Every structure is written in C-alpha cells, then in structure tokens.
Structure 1
Amino acid sequence: MKNNIKVERAINNLTQEELANKISVSRQTINAMEANKYVPSTVLALKIAKVFNKSVEELFVLEEED
C-alpha cells in the first residue's frame, strides 16, 4: 500500500516527530509508513487522515498486488 503521508507532512510543515506526537506513535513508525514498510491499522489511518483533514482514500492507495 502506498501513501501520501510525506507529501501531506511537507504541505503542513510537520516533522515526522510532530506527526508522531499528534497520533501517539513513534517517529520510527511514521518513517516506516512513509517508506512503505509498514501498513497502519484502520484506527491509525483514520487518525492520520484526521490530522490532515483528508479522507483515508486520499492518503492511502491500495495497489493491485496488495
């Protein structure tokens, strides 16, 4: 699953650490998601979407092989 978290962070001038603090995860979790090495839970995806005022579908893209 690909995502647009890094792009949204840049638009909103948030560091990985700041986003992590807003959704109560580690900076390493944000880093892993941005590198497409970690797929967040539904709850975590919803929290991220809320921070950026976007839908989950706008942030996360399900690929054919997923």
Structure 2
Amino acid sequence: MIYIFSFTIIYTFIRQREKILSKKRNLALYLLLSVSGLALGIVYLLNPYLPSITTVMEKYMK
C-alpha cells in the first residue's frame, strides 16, 4: 500500500507541478501531508498491530 501511495505522490507532483510550486504555502502543505502520510505508512509496516490514532484518542477521552 505504501508503494501505491508513493507512486500517487510522485504522479501528483508531476501533474500539478506548476500549481504546487507557484506558492510556498502550497509546497509546504504538499510536503507536510506527503511526509506525514509516508511516516504513518512506515510505522504501519514496522508494527501493523499498533492501535490506531482514533483508538488511542478514544481511550484517553473517556
């Protein structure tokens, strides 16, 4: 799944390059979301039985 996500990130960057690079805000947001998505994918690959973010939040909000 992480390979498909990586391919999608690269494909989106190639297709929307002008729009992403036109403003620093767009580039920063694109990089932030891409890096956070890849980081979550790597964490899942390392330990797929980790509780999800929603499970952890639900536990502490009760």
Q: Could you state the TM-score of these two structures normalised by the residue count of structure 2? A: 0.32
Larger radius of gyration: 2
More helix by share: 2
Report 1 or 2 for greater relative contact order, CA contacts < 8 Å, sequence distance ≥ 6. Answer: 1
